[in-house]
Amino acid sequence: MRSADEARALAKRILGFTSRANQAEVSVTFDDTAYARFARNYVVQNLASAQGHARITVVSGKHVGTVSTSDLGDDALRAAVARAFDIAGRVPANAEFVSLATPGRIPAPVTSVFAATRDASPDDRVDKLLPVFARMERSRLSSSGFTTTQTNARAVVNSLGVDATHTATYAGLEIKAIAPHTSGFAEHFARDYATVDAAERAERAAGKATVAGEPQDFAPGTYSVLLEPPAFVDCLNNVLEGMNVGAVLEEKSSWLIGRTGKAVLSPNFTLRDDWSDPLLANSPFAEDGTPTQKLTLVEAGVPRSYVSSTYLANKLHVPNTGHDGYPINAIVTPGSKSREELIASIERGILISRTWYTRLVDPRECTITGLTRDGVFLIENGKLTKPLKNFRFFTSMMTALADLELGNRLYLAESADTPTTLAVPDAKIAKFTLSAQTSFA
């Protein structure tokens, strides 16, 4: 396992190869990743990998060349730097480029390395899954999924004086409980593997898979829905994509246009971006070493702000919030009701465990489409009564977020379509449009 100090030393060495550039930036990451994958209540793979990666950017005037490589040998790195210079010499000048990141005060990181994750053995990962298998066998269910433990060390340096390092651990569990005619999904991600509650997640997955009966046809329409965290994150990511200065000021495609400062969403909806929240415990700086600011993006239903990167901040003459692309440290403020209380409050609606192939259709209204998967259930008089076949949904997140209640517990949930992991609760949404039923259960 290689450290952030080793990543920094290597990044500095590579930077020394770029001395003829006007500006240069080097980032180095070391990833130690392990998985135990399972199927039919049995571990079928227990594997680990150690990888290193370098990204090199050189600037000559306004010509910019970038190369990435996983070959960290000295000759390969010198060749990568030469390729970056070659690219910079061939591409047109970027008239809008101003500068790479300049040094800023990076706050001290919060605790993001946990021994239970960093030191987890193959036996530890198998032990984590034993409660899952036991719960499945009690209900004569099969299961599939994985558990993972990861450690990431990274460093970024540049010729202007940026010098930043960070190390974090990451752990998770995904479970699909499989019955003869349906399935139930649950996941749990955390920095600390000791807090990943396999028994509790197995109970949620199994509880859905044991709802009796074959998946039923159900008329498409606009319904009250309970989005569990994996589904809510997938939908919310499309909202976050519009909270970028480029979408707001340059492309003018964001849903924020005409809504900033106005009470257009539910007063129950507050969204922050805070890398230092202990649940996230993310890096205090962006990929280029810029300090990341803490922001309130939506306050009690009122959109307040958006994020920017070094390049776009320089180009559009706005403050640099130190974000790569869109908010990646997002936290939805939880509500006061448990998941069970939210379900109990729905007279007739639908529980959605998970979504996938979620895509943005109309960015100005944040209209999205996608498919449900791994557990869709009819709610009648506050209870799950029958499994339903899957749906395609086509709905505006502006409408969805205008009337919602939120659960009282936050989960780290990972989008099915992006690697972003956000902190969200269960979400009861009053109006969510299911546009068509699919042919698969």
Q: Which SS3 state, helix, strand or coil, does residue 381 take?
A: coil
The highest-level CATH class for domain 4-203 is: alpha beta
Amino acid in position 405: E
Q: What is the pLDDT of residue 416?
A: 72
d(CA 265, CA 259): 9
- Nearest 5°: CA angle at 227, between 431 and 241? 85
d(CA 122, CA 261): 51
Q: What is the pLDDT of residue 419?
A: 63
Q: Which residue has the tokens 């699919």?
A: 438
- The two structure tokens encoding residue 98: 């101003």
Q: What is the pLDDT of residue 414?
A: 83
Q: What is the pLDDT of residue 441?
A: 58
Burial 80-92 (b: 16+ CB within 10 A, else e): bbebbbebbeeee
**pTM for this predicted structure:** 0.93
226: nearest Cα among 380, 97, 440 = 380
The beta strand positions in 265-347, using DSSP E, are: 271-273, 295-299, 302-303, 330-332
| DSSP codes of every residue in 39-86 | ETTEEEEEEEEEEEEEEEEEEETTEEEEEEES--SHHHHHHHHHHHHH
Instruction: Give average pLDDT by consecutive 10-residue segment, the chain, 441 residues.
Output: 95 97 98 98 97 98 97 97 98 96 96 98 98 97 97 98 98 95 92 97 94 90 97 95 96 97 98 96 96 98 97 96 92 97 97 95 97 94 94 97 97 78 96 90 58
What ranges do the domains of the chain cover? 4-203, 211-441
DSSP-assigned beta bridge partners for residue 368: 360, 395
Q: What is the pLDDT of residue 421?
A: 84
Given a contact cutoff of 8 angstroms between Cβ atoms, the answer to whether 168 and 152 are in contact is yes
